[in-house]
Structure 1
Amino acid sequence: MNYLLAKLKGRGVNKYGILLSGVTAYDFDINNYASVAYEPDHKLDGDCWFKIDAFLGQAFSGDFLKKAFVAADYSQLKAKDLSEIAFICSIQGGDYFFQKVTPSTLIRRKMISMGAQVELEEGSPKIIVNESPGALYVAKQDALYFRSLSTISTIFRGIEVLFKEATQEETSDFLNEPFISVSNGYGVDKVGKFNRKRIAMAMETLGKLDGKTKSKLFTYVSKYCPGLKYNKKLGIFEIGNEEELKNLLYGIEERYYTTLHGKEKRLANSVVSLA
């Protein structure tokens, strides 16, 4: 049987309760969509979802999914609990559909209902069920599907660790690399969130390269980013603002390319490895 549950604000499995039984909240099939392994710098196409395999082995998967669902273990929620709901979970065919409850999905207004008869409902609170869930856990695959990490970060506490940012110390170390010279008063305190994320990725990439390969990489960056000041003899980039740092970091990840036929230089905002 299908069940619609809600998680009340606060921590713990005991905060879950049953709203309805025998209902199908979502008419949604993940098999109709493509999926890619989660990468923080990847921009999804409209018909694609992020995927995390072996989800129950992740520290942020929580306790709720790790225990077999038994309806008798959960109490029936009351109308008074509605304002305390953090998110809902529809269990359908053994899969778990999650949706965060936000002020925009909680309605308390008077509404005209047109069912068997037209009625004026006196503002009883209602939750809007979206066409697609915020996240879907497919039990047989042990896989979590989602489109926005920020949307589900309050459902799966700690999942934001996937959005890895360089720490203050790591950012400082990167700007002190021998191939970088900062200027115009630019420094670690001016490096924004997204460039910190790119620094974390660039540090991992550079850690796999030898000196000769790095030299070739920097020449490649200078070729595609003529606006970046690059001293070829010394192998040093001058970085004076966020845009220049972003261009360098994109280059380290080899995001720049030239089309085969048109010979047009382009930047790939997101990539998927085909290997």
Structure 2
Amino acid sequence: MANYIYGKVKRKQNIFRVIETESEIYETADLVLTGVDYNPATLIEDEELYQITNFSGTEFILDFLQGNLDSVNYNQITNEDLKKLSFICTVQGNLYFFQVINSSFFISKKWFSIDELTLETNRPIITINPFADAIYNKETDTLYFKKLASAQKIFKGMDQLYRAATDAETQNFLENDFLEVDENFQTGNVTIPNRKRIALVNETLSNFSDDEKQAIYNYTNQYGQVTYENGKFKIESDNDLKFVLWGIEQRFYTTPIGGDKRVANSIINI
């Protein structure tokens, strides 16, 4: 069965055919594709993957991944365009392996083949990583990736999955009636990590009833990191804001043995 490598050229919309080969580029016999549903509040281990299910229904899907793929419908890439690749995609059956291409993958030094022992000087090569930046399983309609920053270079707009709140959104959050913000703490003092948390908790709060909101405020106050008086948390610093946002995300917990109060740096719903 033939395998194909396709490529996307910078500033061009088309996908081009690069190589057809009978060789297996990525070893799939022992490949296990299981992932954790993507959530910016979830940190994965080195051997784990994020996943987005029903990926074809998202706004990030490439036309290239939709319908039946036929190599004859794609033009062969030119040598000149090979120097302008933004990413390549290796297709092996129902699996699509994506790799972002940058200057570090181009090798133009003098080299020789161990097999042929011939010195090459004008034949630059492009290297392929042993593990792809993103893998799309067309059969299950699931995208897998390790780093959102890499995946969003291929699937434009995916960075909106972990966007930072705008100045207006940040200011609106600081004006919530459960916060008493010091006059010296302004929107410009809110760091990017906290802006990302604000973007997430805005939706969380909108789904809470008034009773649930009060329960969250009481829960946050139990961990005593920020002064809470007259139904308001006093925000004097970005660190104060971070603890309140952690509370809304329900990251605080007490160990059943020892009663240690802790904060979870990663969350996975079970």
Which residue does the alignment assign to 2:231? 235
Kept in 2, the 8 Å contact 1:6–1:19? The answer is: no
Is 40-49 or 204-213 further displaced after alignment? 204-213
Structure 2 spans left out of the alignment, 5+ residues: none
3-state DSSP class of the match of 1:60?
A: coil
Cα distance in 2 for residues equivalent to 1:263 and 1:128: 52
Cα distance in 1 for residues equivalent to 2:235 and 2:264: 21
Cα distance in 2 for residues equivalent to 1:192 and 1:237: 19
Cα distance in 2 for residues equivalent to 1:212 and 1:249: 18
Which residue does the alignment assign to 1:253? 249
Deviations 1:62-112, CA, capped at 9 Å, x for gaps: 211113211111222233322111111000012211000012222221224
Kept in 2, the 8 Å contact 1:24–1:90? The answer is: no
**What one-letter code is carried by the residue in structure 2 that aligns with 1:120?**
L
3-state DSSP class of the match of 2:198?
A: helix
Residues 1:265 and 2:266 are matched in the alignment: no
Cα distance in 1 for residues equivalent to 2:226 and 2:126: 51
Is 57-66 or 22-31 further displaced after alignment? 22-31
Cα distance in 1 for residues equivalent to 2:244 and 2:181: 12
- Over the matched positions of the two proteins, sequence identity in percent amounts to 33
Which residue does the alignment assign to 2:119? 120
Which residue does the alignment assign to 2:158? 159
Within-5 A mapping of 1:79-118:
79-115=79-115, 117-118=116-117
Which residue does the alignment assign to 2:48? 48
Cα distance in 1 for residues equivalent to 2:213 and 2:45: 32
Which residue does the alignment assign to 1:210? 209
Cα distance in 2 for residues equivalent to 1:200 and 1:188: 14
Deviations 1:207-235, CA, capped at 9 Å, x for gaps: 222333323322221222x342221xx11
Which residue does the alignment assign to 1:200? 199
CA 1:185–1:125: 2 relative to 1, 3 Å:
farther
Which residue does the alignment assign to 1:150? 149
TM-score w.r.t. length of structure 2: 0.91
TM-score w.r.t. length of structure 1: 0.90
Structure 1 spans left out of the alignment, 5+ residues: none
Cα RMSD, aligned residues only = 2.0
Which residue does the alignment assign to 1:185? 184
Report how many residues are paired. Answer: 269
